Amino acid sequence: MKRVLRRRKRAEPPALLSTPKPSLTYRLISYLLVFPIYRLLFRGRTGSNAHVPMEGAMVVVANHGSHLDPPLLGHALGRPVAFMAKAELFKVPLLGPIIRACGAYPVARGASDREAIRTATDRLEEGWAIGVFIDGTRQADGRVNDPQPGAALLAARAGVPLLPVAIINSHRALGTGSKRARLVPIHIRIGTLIPPPASRRRPDLDAATAACQQQINALLDQGLLSGRELQPRLPATSADALPPSP
């Protein structure tokens, strides 16, 4: 009887899984700290928010040029994003508590990737948006240069789409080797959803990874957002939401 009950629980329709709601801590940090830093100090702007499903799991794939990227990206998308972040970042004063409250969880460099992948997959099955910096580490030029297949593997395991996002100028604001922040504009361009890979085979993962790289770098090439591109934040309807697969 216990086995039967367990099987029924796993067989529940994925649509019944609701996206976790932002915690009070997340909302306070997002609007009282990240918002003024992003919108006022760095004159932050976000384009194409309508591309972001407000319900259902997805893998958010972005370039990585600065330690500023995790909190700014989570705030700009308008929904909590759980990040796979280097364990060292959680030791950085102020930044560590912020990214943890925003949903990030540590991944030790050199440790087994299986545990990190299992943790991320569990969160996807709970309806989370998982954030992955596709190069795995900061790039001096802020572009996607050496993409890794981890994001595509997560999408294939959970059967969820990938959402490419380009963070423009964060590498100039506080990039590798920088000791002081430069108050240059940081803009975020949101791409269009990419379906999950057809399988976990390496050719399928590589194809999805290449599609993410191409879209992110193309968004970066467009440069800062113009006035015509700025539009009100319009949440996606429930019909656009793509819930995780069991």
Region 7-28 average pLDDT: 59
Residue 92 pLDDT > 90:
no
Nearest CA-CA partner of 244 in 118, 156, 158: 158
Residue 48 pLDDT > 90:
yes
Residue 241 pLDDT > 50:
no
Residue 191 pLDDT > 90:
yes
The DSSP annotation for 131-197 comes to EEETTSS--TTSS--S--THHHHHHHHHT--EEEEEEESHHHHH-TT-SS------EEEE---BPPP
Instruction: Compute the residue count for the chain.
Output: 246
Least trusted range by pLDDT, from 98-107, 200-209, 235-244: 235-244
Q: Higher pLDDT residue, 119 or 107?
A: 119
Residue 214 pLDDT > 70:
yes
Please say whether the beta carbons of 130 and 84 come within 8 A: yes
Please say whether the beta carbons of 203 and 60 come within 8 A: no
Return the pLDDT at 1.
Answer: 44
Taking CA atoms, 50 is separated from 36, 74, 101, 145, 236, in Å, by 22, 15, 25, 27, 6
pLDDT level of residue 122 (50, 70, 90 thresholds): confident
Candidate ranges 51-55, 194-198, 229-233; pick with highest mean pLDDT: 194-198
The alpha-helical segments, DSSP class H, found in the chain are: 2-10, 24-29, 35, 69-77, 95-101, 113-125, 150-158, 170-174, 202-221
Residue 26 pLDDT > 60:
yes
Return the pLDDT at 28.
Answer: 87
Distance CA 121, CA 59 (A): 10
pLDDT level of residue 112 (50, 70, 90 thresholds): low
Q: Does domain 21-177+184-230 have CATH number 3.40.1130.10?
A: yes
Q: CA neighbours within 13 Å on the CB side: how many for 8?
A: 5
Residue 75 pLDDT > 90:
no
Return the pLDDT at 226.
Answer: 87
Domain boundaries, the chain: 21-177+184-230
Return the pLDDT at 244.
Answer: 34
Distance CA 21, CA 130 (A): 14
pLDDT level of residue 237 (50, 70, 90 thresholds): very low
Q: Higher pLDDT residue, 113 or 210?
A: 210
Distance CA 31, CA 145 (A): 32
Return the pLDDT at 17.
Answer: 54
Return the pLDDT at 18.
Answer: 65
Return the pLDDT at 193.
Answer: 98
Q: What phi and psi, each to the nearest 5 degrees, are found at residue 14? A: -60, -30
Q: Which residue is associated with the tokens 């993962």?
A: 205
Distance CA 9, CA 146 (A): 40
Please say whether the beta carbons of 129 and 139 come within 8 A: no
- One-letter amino acid of 72: L
Residue 201 pLDDT > 90:
yes
Distance CA 53, CA 192 (A): 10
Please say whether the beta carbons of 73 and 110 come within 8 A: no
Q: What phi and psi, each to the nearest 5 degrees, are found at residue 242? A: -115, 100
Region 17-30 average pLDDT: 78
Q: Higher pLDDT residue, 177 or 225?
A: 225
Q: Higher pLDDT residue, 100 or 30?
A: 30
Q: Higher pLDDT residue, 33 or 9?
A: 33
Three-state secondary structure call for residue 28: helix
